[in-house]
C-alpha cells in the first residue's frame, strides 16, 4: 500500500522532471543544399527558447546525417547515397511475402512510426525488420503536418535497408509532392515557411532542389506502380487515362518531366492532363460527391483493370472513415487521415496488408482486421 503510494509519488516526480530533462535545443531534420565543393551543406534549425540558429555541416555521398528525435520517436542515422535511379513502374514480389500499403502520412511522423513498429516493419531503433516484405507509400508525405522531412528521410533510409534483405520500400508521388516541389506553399505546415526564411532560401521548394539528395530522389519516384495483379497510385485511374492508353511508364515519365522542370504542363496537353484533376495524382471519381468528376461506373473500373492488366487498384488521396473495398473489392480506398485523439492518445492512419492472399486493415496499435472483399 505504502509501496504503491511511493511508486505513484516517484512517478509524479518523474513526470514533473520530464520537461526539464527533455529541454534543450529542438533540432529540425537537416536540409542538404549543394555546396561549391561538390557535396552538400547539411543545414538544421536549432530552436531554443525564442532563439533560432542554424547548424551547418559539410557532407558528401557515403556520410551519415542525423535525423533528430521527435517526441517519442528516436533519432536515426541516414547514409547518403549516390543519385537515385528512376524507380520502376512495375515490380515482381514473391507471392507469399507480405505487402503493406500506407496512405497519405501528411507529416505525422509519430503516428507512422507507431504503426510501422507495431506491425514489425521497423524495430525500436527504426531499423528495417520486415525481411522480404514490401511497403508501398501512396504519396502525400508532404503538407499539413509538422514532420514531413523526418518521414522522407525515414523512407529514404528504409528503402536501402529493405533492399538488403530482399524486401522493398516504394514511395509513390501524390499531388502534394507535385505541389510542394513545384513551389506551391499553400498547404505547408506554417513552421516550414519559417524554416525557409531562416535558412535564407527564396522558397521552401529550394530546400528540395534537384541538387539535394531528397529532391533528386523524389523526382525519380514512380507515380503509378504495378505489383503483380495490383495497381497502386495516389488518386485513381480516370476514364481519360484509359482512353489515352497511358502506360504506367508513360505516366511516371510525364510526372518526372514536369517535376524536373523539363516540361511545362501548361504547354503540353499530355502533361497538363497527367498533372490535372483527371490525372492519376488528383482523380477522385471513385468517391461520389455530387460534383465533378462524375462517379466512375463499374464499366469504367473494369476498363481500367483491363487496361493495366490488374485485378485490384489501391488508392489514397480521398479520405474514408476506414480502409474500405469499393466496386466489389476491385478498388481499395486506403486514405484514413492520420490523427491522434488528444484525450486517449489513440491514433489512426490508413494502412492495409496483403498476406497469404488475404487483405487486412491495420490499426496503428498493431491490430489486424480482415477486409471483407466484394
Q: Which residues bind Mn ion (CB under 5 A)?
A: 140, 174-175, 317
In angstroms, the CA 109 to CA 70 distance is 8
Shortest Cβ distance from residue 274 to Mn ion (Å)? 15
Shortest Cβ distance from residue 234 to Mn ion (Å)? 6
Q: Helix axis angle, 109-118 relative to 148-164, nearest 10°?
A: 30
- Residue nearest to Mn ion as judged by C-beta position: 317
C-beta of residue 256 within 8 angstroms of C-beta of residue 224: no
Nearer to Mn ion, 133 or 316 (CB): 316
Beta strands in 190-290 (DSSP E): 224-227, 230-233
Nearer to Mn ion, 108 or 140 (CB): 140
C-beta of residue 120 within 8 angstroms of C-beta of residue 355: no
Shortest Cβ distance from residue 68 to Mn ion (Å)? 27
Nearer to Mn ion, 45 or 320 (CB): 320
C-beta of residue 199 within 8 angstroms of C-beta of residue 43: yes
Nearer to Mn ion, 175 or 195 (CB): 175
Shortest Cβ distance from residue 282 to Mn ion (Å)? 7
In angstroms, the CA 1 to CA 17 distance is 24
C-beta of residue 116 within 8 angstroms of C-beta of residue 153: no
In angstroms, the CA 247 to CA 208 distance is 28
How does 243-277 read in b/e, with b if 16+ C-beta sit within 10 Å?
ebebebebbbbbbbbbbeeebebeeeebbbbbbeb
Instruction: Tell me 222's DSSP state.
Output: -
C-beta of residue 150 within 8 angstroms of C-beta of residue 109: yes
Nearer to Mn ion, 28 or 140 (CB): 140
Nearer to Mn ion, 119 or 176 (CB): 176
Report CA dihedral (133, 139, 200, 28) to the nearest 10 degrees.
Answer: -50
Shortest Cβ distance from residue 184 to Mn ion (Å)? 13
Shortest Cβ distance from residue 31 to Mn ion (Å)? 23
Shortest Cβ distance from residue 301 to Mn ion (Å)? 20
Shortest Cβ distance from residue 283 to Mn ion (Å)? 10
Q: How many CB atoms lie within 10 A of CB 217?
A: 20
In angstroms, the CA 192 to CA 183 distance is 13
Nearer to Mn ion, 194 or 339 (CB): 339
Nearer to Mn ion, 140 or 300 (CB): 140
**How far out from the chain centre does Cα 299 lie?**
31
In angstroms, the CA 134 to CA 183 distance is 31
In angstroms, the CA 19 to CA 13 distance is 11
Shortest Cβ distance from residue 316 to Mn ion (Å)? 7
**How many Å is the Cα radius of gyration of the chain?**
21
Shortest Cβ distance from residue 145 to Mn ion (Å)? 13
Nearer to Mn ion, 175 or 223 (CB): 175
Nearer to Mn ion, 162 or 222 (CB): 222
C-beta of residue 34 within 8 angstroms of C-beta of residue 40: yes
Amino acid at each position: 500500500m505504502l509501496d504503491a503510494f511511493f511508486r505513484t509519488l516517484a512517478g509524479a516526480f518523474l513526470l514533473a522532471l520530464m520537461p526539464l530533462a527533455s529541454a534543450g535545443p529542438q533540432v529540425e531534420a537537416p536540409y542538404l543544399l549543394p555546396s561549391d565543393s561538390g557535396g552538400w551543406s547539411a543545414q538544421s534549425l536549432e530552436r531554443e527558447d525564442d532563439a533560432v540558429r542554424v547548424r551547418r555541416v559539410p557532407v558528401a555521398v557515403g556520410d551519415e546525417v542525423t535525423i533528430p528525435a521527435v517526441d517519442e520517436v528516436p533519432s536515426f542515422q541516414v547514409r547518403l547515397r549516390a543519385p537515385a535511379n528512376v524507380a520502376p513502374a512495375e515490380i515482381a514480389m514473391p507471392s507469399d511475402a507480405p505487402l503493406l500499403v500506407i496512405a497519405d502520412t501528411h507529416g505525422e511522423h509519430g503516428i507512422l512510426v507507431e504503426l510501422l513498429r507495431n506491425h514489425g516493419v521497423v524495430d525500436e531503433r527504426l531499423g528495417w525488420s520486415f525481411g522480404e516484405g514490401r511497403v508501398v507509400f501512396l504519396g502525400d508525405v508532404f503538407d499539413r503536418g509538422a514532420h514531413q522531412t523526418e518521414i522522407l528521410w525515414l523512407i529514404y533510409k528504409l528503402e536501402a535497408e529493405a533492399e538488403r534483405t530482399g524486401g522493398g520500400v516504394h514511395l509513390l508521388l501524390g499531388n502534394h509532392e507535385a505541389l510542394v516541389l513545384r513551389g506551391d506553399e499553400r498547404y505547408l505546415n506554417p513552421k516550414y515557411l519559417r524554416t525557409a526564411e531562416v535558412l535564407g532560401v527564396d522558397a521552401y521548394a529550394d530546400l528540395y532542389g534537384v541538387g539535394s539528395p531528397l529532391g533528386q530522389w523524389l523526382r525519380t519516384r514512380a507515380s503509378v506502380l504495378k505489383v503483380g495483379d495490383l495497381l497502386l497510385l495516389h488518386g485513381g485511374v480516370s476514364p481519360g487515362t484509359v482512353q489515352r492508353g497511358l502506360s504506367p511508364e508513360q505516366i511516371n515519365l510525364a510526372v518526372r518531366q514536369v517535376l524536373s522542370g523539363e516540361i511545362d504542363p501548361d504547354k503540353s496537353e499530355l502533361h497538363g492532363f497527367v498533372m490535372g484533376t483527371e490525372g492519376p495524382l488528383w482523380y477522385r471519381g471513385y468517391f461520389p460527391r455530387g460534383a465533378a468528376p462524375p462517379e466512375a461506373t463499374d464499366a469504367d473500373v473494369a476498363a481500367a483493370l483491363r487496361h493495366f492488366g490488374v485485378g485490384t487498384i489501391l488508392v489514397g488521396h480521398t479520405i474514408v472513415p476506414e480502409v474500405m473495398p469499393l466496386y466489389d473489392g476491385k478498388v481499395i480506398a486506403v486514405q484514413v487521415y492520420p490523427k491522434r485523439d488528444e484525450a486517449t492518445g489513440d491514433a489512426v492512419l490508413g494502412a492495409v496488408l496483403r498476406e497469404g492472399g488475404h487483405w487486412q486493415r491495420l490499426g496503428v496499435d498493431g491490430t489486424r482486421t480482415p477486409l471483407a472483399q466484394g
